[in-house]
Structure 1
Amino acid sequence: MMLTAHTTGLRHADRVAATVQESASAARSVVAASWRRSMMYHGLDPSIRRTPLRVEAPELHRARERNGRLLEIAEPTLERLFATAASAGCCVVLTDVEGLILTSNSAPGDEGDFDAWGLSAGAIWSEASEGTNGIGTCVAEKRPVIIHQDQHFRTQNTAMSCMGAPVFDHAGRMVAVLDVSSCRRDLTLSFAQVLGLVVTESARAVESDLFRTAYTGSKIVVAEGHGAGGVSLLAVDGDDLVVGATRQARKTLGLSEEALSLSPSLHEVLGAPAAVRNPHGTERSAIRRALARARGNVSAAARDLGVGRATMYRKMARYGIEA
């Protein structure tokens, strides 16, 4: 975040307050916008010291149960990320979409320190609770963020560096934040940025695994926009109809939930040549798309295809299609 001349040299709490008072600062900086939300919307004071809020063990258990599939699918990626980040004195955490830490992993000698900082399972790192931080601000912005040391809202957190990235499920909903945090003062912004890239790639790996698991048995197609912008995948069934799309694919290809509900063909979505299948494949796909457009109304679908209702039922029976 760029500092103005009159905020440089002020103590942290005063610098936060001065930046918040500059109405234009929020438009120039993610951090300034978050500071403004923290102070003006959530009513937080950067100078007040307190330990992060924690949920009781039963509530944490319920949260982990609700997110059991996510934790199971993410575990291999979390282990790989930890193997990279632990040597740099960092901990790896996965939170739910409310900023509640579901799981935290740190080197045995560092566990006590990270627990004291509130970076352990059960702690809540929402913006409403802790102000600007790598987890809560990631939730608010729905994009990867790096909050390096004195970019944090609370003075007590200015020794920390947090690199958070969102995880979206198969339907494009944000379901988690993957975060790597360090409490070492010698962690430079440049190194934090490198770690941030690793965290983002790891979050995308989890996202891909969530999508592939949700559409087991479907063909997974890499779509336009895959890469720097995010994970852009389509799930395609045996009739070459698109039955699922990641958030990035929806954004890049202009696919709304309504459009997906109409079972578009891969050819319609990508403008690519239709796959060569059995002689009846095209007709079967056309019937399924017509039924989808008609919301299951067989008579309306038959009119759409220009056939009689009885003919439509015969064709549906032939291909094993139900309304």
Structure 2
Amino acid sequence: MPYVSQTQHVDRVRGAIEGRLPPPAGSSRLVSSWQRSFETWQLDPGSAIGPRVLTSSELREIQGKEEAFLRASGQCLSRLHDMIRVVDYCVMLTDAHGVTIDYRIDRDRRSHFKHAGLYIGSCWSEREEGTCGVANVLTDLAPITVHKTDHFRAAFTTLTCSAAPIFAPAGELIGVLDASAVQSPDNRESQRLVFQLVRQSAGLIEDGYFLNQTTQHWILFGHASRNFVEAQPELLIAFDECGNIVTANRKARECIPDLNGPRHIDDIFDTSEVHLHDLARTDAIVGLRLRATGATLYARIRAPMRRPARVTATTTPTSHESHAERHLGAMSRFLHSADPRIAQNAQVALRIAGKRLPILILGETGVGKEVFARAIHEAGERRARPFVAVNCAAIPESLIESELFGYAPGAFTGARSRGARGKIAMASGGTLFLDEIGDMPLSLQTRLLRVLAEGEVVPLGGDAPVRVDIDVICATHRSPSQMVSEGVFREDLFYRLSGATLTMPPLRERADIRDVIEAVFDEEARCATHVLTLDAHLAEQLGTLPWPGNIRQLRNVLRYACAVCDSSRVELRHIAPDIAALLSPVHAREAQRTASPDERARILEALTQQHWRPNAAAQALGMSRATLYRRMAKLKIVGPHRC
């Protein structure tokens, strides 16, 4: 039964809208909502029909989109319901459109609440249901209690609803938390405690979602009291490896207005005495002085829970990209390499991919010839077909023929009774990659030439040719022309394979060596048991080594460092001794070069011209902000605001 008769409720709503009767609870928000419900949405205040409820499939689709939100809120929903269930309340969570995507209701009371419309999948937008707790929060983005006859529709005049908004880290509304009861005291003051509990719980869900969405960043947990930093931090600030602030929770933005624009963590706090990244190792609580007010905020730092994905120019396709650009795959990082030779190779490879032109890749051992060959395959029209790699130097000469061409049943002693397909036949329709082609025996070179010329392969011990359709990519660390002149490689096969010849430069000569080091480190760090970062100065030092084993050697060095690292940052002490010995003198020369008077004068001049704005000065000097701060620390350059 409605709390009042339908006629009485309709008369009261119309009277308040027309100004003849006092507004509900003296609230202008409720009157405005009543007016929109009646005039804009043309709803009937006398309607006793319950809310619209989604079908199971419609609800599952919405819940699937809100998986992270549901995961972050589940525990808080249960906790809130445990506190208020004794007074017969249910707890509902809606998305940003008012759809109930999760709820907590005592099982023996479920049908009672469902009859009142308080059920999962129910829709509570103002357009459909008029004035109610969820609808008002969706409209005004502020918490509210809508008590009994405050509701616009007669169907809900027995309900009392306290609701609060939940915002994403970027500030947009992502949902509403609501606690509702079917029966409650008439005095709206009886809802004050529930209202406060809902607001508090919404804040906890918001912070939980914040931490869920910023696991790839460093997090500062802060509170004005040291005793509450661990138990109930109020301020959450996420920043990246370089110290740039990514986002902050609502409380932090309210307390620190400077957070509302792009900032560096050093612009907000005086960190001259501490290194925030190092604090994460000890989990210590420290006092940080706010530059704007001089007040002290007590904080601890959490290291990233997972490493951020490396971003390239093609990570997110834009509307300006062509259809082919979206399918570059691994080739995109070569195409956008800072090394012009790598980028040129990628451009050529993209033009000839799928043109039935054999490709020969030259380069020292370990430069990534197979990786580049796979990238060519993935960027072509045959990306969904097989990519079969054969290392001609790793297969014994007695077995390479059967590996490549396959064999018929009973072809030799120990052969399988049904025979076997060779690598060439397995690659049909896709790409065959012959690594170290220079080590292929002369006898097999003749047979390979016939396969390329006629498009068919005859298995060992067989007599029926098998048609094959393959793209061929070969690679070698040797000089094919020299092998031809020495008579160890067929000249006609060389011309057949070298439709396009691409040379991969050694790692030591690559202009993008720092990018390669960071990319390889990211791949190896993913296998560690905890989140790792690479010390920036160590990365610079590694870029100066000759790397005779190229990327393969680099990968082994970083894999060892990640395996033995006992902290959150890989440093020089984690590098294998033989490599570390090569880095020490490099470090000394670098320090001497960095500390030169010319360098100090150049940095001071840039800082002065840019009025000591670090971003502008770093850009003028052609370096990152993090590098500028390191140089300033080594050269003992102190800004005027710190003197």
TM-score, L = length of structure 2 = 0.40
1-side partners of 2:629 and 2:54: how far apart? 56
Structure 1 pair 19/256, CA: closer, same or farther in 2 (3 Å)? farther
- In the alignment, what sits opposite 1:17? 14
Which deviates more, 107-116 or 213-222?
213-222
Alpha-carbon distance, 1:162 to partner = 0.4
Aligned-partner Cα distance in 2 for 1:214–1:132: 32
Aligned residue pairs, count = 278
Find the aligned partners of 1:170 and 1:69 in 2 and give their Cα distance: 13
| Structure 2 residue matching 1:59: 3-state secondary structure | helix
Q: Spell out the pairing of 1:270-309 with structure 2 (5 A cutoff).
A: 272-277=269-274, 304-305=617-618, 308-309=621-622
8 Å CA contact 2:23–2:30 kept in 1: the answer is: no
Contact in 2 for aligned 1:143/1:166 (Cα 8 Å) = yes
Number of the residue aligned with 1:219? 219
SS at match of 1:11: helix
Deviation larger for 122-131 or 211-220: 211-220
User: Matches of 1:109 and 1:306 in 2, distance apart?
Assistant: 65
* Offset at residue 48 of structure 1 (A): 2.0
| CA deviation vs aligned residue, 1:119-143 (integer Å, no higher than 9, x gap) | 1111101111111111111111111
Q: Which of 247, 256, 260 pairs up with 2:250?
A: 247
Task: Indicate how the Cα distance of structure 1 residues 276 and 64 shifts in structure 2: closer, same or farther if over 3 A, else same.
Answer: same
With the length of structure 1 as denominator, give the TM-score of the two structures. 0.76
2:34 partner amino acid? W
Which residue number in structure 2 is paired with residue 290 of structure 1? none
**Unmatched 5+ residue regions in structure 2?**
1-6, 225-233, 279-535, 537-613, 631-643
- 8 Å CA contact retained: 1:60, 1:102: yes
1:175-227 CA distance string (max 9 Å, x none): 01111000104364222111010011000001111112222351324379xxx
Q: Using the TM superposition, give the Cα deviation of residue 245 of structure 1 relative to its aligned residue in structure 2, in angstroms.
A: 1.3
The range that moved more, 243-252 or 21-30, is 21-30
Note closer, same or farther for the CA distance 1:45–1:274 as it changes in structure 2 (3 Å cut). Answer: same
Task: Within 5 Å, give how 1:186-197 maps onto structure 2.
Answer: 186=185, 188-197=187-196
Q: Kindly, what percent of the aligned residue pairs are identical?
A: 24
User: Residue 207 of structure 2 aligns with which residue?
Assistant: 208
CA offsets 1:63-107 (integer angstroms, 9 cap, x no match): 101111111111111111110121111111100011100012211
Cα 1:239/1:83, change in 2 over 3 Å: same
1:146-157 counterparts in 2 under 5 A?
146-157=145-156
Between 1:37-46 and 1:126-135, the stretch displaced more is 37-46
CA distance in 2, matches of 1:76, 1:275: 39
Structure 2: how far apart are the matches of 1:306 and 1:62?
46
Secondary structure (helix, strand or coil) at the match of 1:276 reads coil
Judge conservation of contact 1:171–1:247 (CA < 8 Å) in 2: no
Change (3 A) 1:240 1:223: farther
Larger of the two Rg values belongs to structure? 2
Q: 1:34 to 1:108 in 2, by over 3 A?
A: same
| Aligned partner of residue 90 in structure 2, secondary structure | strand
CA contact (8 A) 1:25 1:32 kept: yes
Q: Give the gaps of 5 or more residues in structure 1.
A: 1-9, 225-230, 285-300
1:1-323 aligned at under 5 Å gives the runs 11-22=8-19, 29-186=28-185, 188-216=187-215, 217-222=217-222, 232-254=235-257, 259-260=261-262, 263-266=263-266, 268-269=267-268, 272-277=269-274, 304-305=617-618, 308-309=621-622, 312=623
Give SS of 2:161's match. strand
Q: How far apart are 1:37 and its partner, in Å?
A: 1.6
Deviation larger for 14-23 or 119-128: 14-23
CA 1:218–1:150: 2 relative to 1, 3 Å: same
C-alpha contact (below 8 Å) 1:133/1:153 kept by paired residues: yes
Q: Deviations over 1:109-159 (max 9, x none)?
A: 210011111111111011111111111111111111100001111112110
Contact 1:94 1:102 in 2 (8 A): yes
Preserved CA contact (<8 Å) 2:77 2:103 = no
The separation in 2 between residues aligned to 1:31 and 1:306, in whole angstroms, is: 53
Secondary structure of the equivalent of 2:270? Answer: coil
The residue type equivalent to 1:156 in the other structure is: A
CA contact (8 A) 1:38 1:44 kept: yes
Please state how far the C-alpha of 1:59 moved relative to its aligned partner. Answer: 1.1
In structure 2, what residue type is equivalent to 1:15? R
Residues 249 and 255 of structure 1 are in contact (CA less than 8 Å); yes or no, is this contact kept in structure 2? no
Q: Distance in 1 between matches of 2:131 and 2:616?
A: 57
Distance 1:69 1:187, change over 3 A: farther
- AA paired with 2:141? K
Cα separation, partners in 2 of 1:33 and 1:274, compared to 1, 3 Å: same
Code of the aligned partner of 1:11 = Q
Distance of 1:25 and 1:183 partners within structure 2? 23
